[in-house]
């Protein structure tokens, strides 16, 4: 081997090492950010699931109360109708 080939090989190895270092500096934080985002999305999905269950229970209570009020108003309407003699 001649010195030019060895120098070229060292230069090529250094260039590949530099490119690999730059890629690692870019890929590692990006991977860390993606993992963090995935965890946050999973947590949000769990919270929305709980919110949906709570919302369903709340609406059920409101509708039950509404039905009780409808029955009460219907009863008052019948009493007024009977009192008016119509």
pLDDT(85) > 80: no
pLDDT(1) > 80: no
What is the pTM for the complete model shown? 0.50
Q: Which residues contact 66 (CB under 8 A, 6 or more apart)?
A: none
- In tens, the pLDDT along 21-74 reads 877 788 888 899 999 999 999 999 999 888 888 888 999 999 999 999 988 988
Look at residue 21 in the predicted model and tell me its pLDDT.
82
Q: What is the torsion angle, in degrees rounded to the nearest 10, for the CA atoms of residue 25, residue 30, residue 36 and residue 41?
A: 180
SS3 state at 1: coil
CB atoms within 10 A of CB 70: 10
The confidence band for 86, taking pLDDT boundaries of 50, 70 and 90, is low
Give the Cα separation of 86 and 83 in Å (integer).
8
């Amino acid at each position: 081997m001649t010195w030019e080939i060895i120098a070229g090989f060292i230069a090529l190895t250094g260039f590949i090492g530099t490119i690999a270092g730059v890629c690692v500096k870019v890929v590692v934080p990006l991977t860390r950010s993606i993992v963090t985002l995935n965890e946050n999305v999973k947590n949000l999905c769990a919270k929305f699931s709980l919110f949906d269950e709570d919302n369903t229970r709340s609406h059920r209570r409101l509708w039950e109360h509404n039905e009780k009020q409808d029955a009460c108003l219907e009863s008052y309407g019948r009493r007024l109708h009977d009192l008016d003699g119509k």
